[in-house]
Amino acid sequence: MKKAILLILSVALICSVALTLAACNGNERDAGYASRAAYSLDVAVREGLDEAYLTEEVVFTNSGNDDIDKLVFMLYPNAYRKDAENSAYFADMLKVNDEFGGIDISAVKVDGKENAFEVDGIFMEVPLDTPVKPDDSVTVKLGARIDIAGGTLRFGGDGSIARLLNFYPVLAYYGEAGWETCDYSRIGDPFHTAGASYEVKISAPDNVAIATSGQQISVTEGDGIRTVEATAADARDFAAVLSTEYKTSEASSGDAKIKYYSLSGSDKAEFVAKATDIFTEYFGEFPYPEFSVCESPFYYGGMEYPGLVVINSSLSDAEKEKVIVHELVHQWIGCAVGSDGAHEGWVDESLTTFLAAYYFKLAGDEAAFSAEIADCERQYAAFLLTEKLNSPGYVPSIARNVYEFSTLYEYDAVVYRRGCSMYVSLMELAGEKKLREAITSYYERYKFADASGDDLIACFDDVLGGKARAVMLSYLNADVRTGNIGV
Per the prediction, the chain carries an average pLDDT of 91
Least confident of 109-113, 224-228, 264-268, 455-459: 264-268
The string of DSSP letters for 30-96 reads: PTT-S--EEEEEEEEEPTTSSEEEEEEEEEEE--SSS-EEEEEEE-GGGGGSTT-TT-SS-HHHHHH
Inter-residue contact 297 to 161 (CB < 8 Å): yes
pLDDT at residue 29 in the model: 38
Order of strands, sheet of 215-222, starting from the edge strand that comes earlier in the sequence: 113-114, 102-110, 137-147, 51-61, 37-45, 196-205, 225-235, 215-222
Between β-strands 290-296 and 308-312, what pairing exists: parallel, antiparallel or unpaired? parallel
pLDDT at residue 365 in the model: 96
Domain boundaries, the chain: 21-29+339-476
Angle at 355 between CA 376 and CA 307, to 5 degrees: 120
**What element of type H or E holds 139?**
strand 137-147
Count Cα atoms within 13 angstroms, Cβ side, for 347. 31
In this predicted structure, the answer to whether residue 25 has a pLDDT above a threshold of 60 is: no
Alpha carbons 396 and 329: distance in angstroms, whole number:
25
pLDDT band at 95 (very low <50, low <70, confident <90, very high): confident
In this predicted structure, the answer to whether residue 327 has a pLDDT above a threshold of 70 is: yes
DSSP 8-class letter at 159: S
In this predicted structure, the answer to whether residue 406 has a pLDDT above a threshold of 50 is: yes
Tens digits of residue pLDDT in 215-269: 999 999 999 999 999 999 999 999 999 999 999 999 999 999 999 999 999 899 9
Tens digits of residue pLDDT in 475-484: 999 854 334 4
pLDDT at residue 27 in the model: 33
The string of DSSP letters for 181-228 reads: -PPP-SSS-------EEEEEEEEEETT-EEEESSEEEEEEEETTEEEE
- Region 319-341: mean pLDDT is 98
CATH number belonging to the domain at 21-29+339-476, selected among 3.40.140.10, 3.40.50.720, 1.10.390.10, 3.40.50.150? 1.10.390.10
The pTM of the full predicted model, rounded to 2 decimals, is 0.92
In this predicted structure, the answer to whether residue 473 has a pLDDT above a threshold of 90 is: yes
- Region 386-403: mean pLDDT is 95
Least confident of 35-39, 122-126, 307-311, 438-442: 35-39
Inter-residue contact 231 to 297 (CB < 8 Å): no
Tens digits of residue pLDDT in 182-201: 999 999 999 999 999 999 99
Backbone torsions φ then ψ of 131, nearest 5 degrees? -60, 150
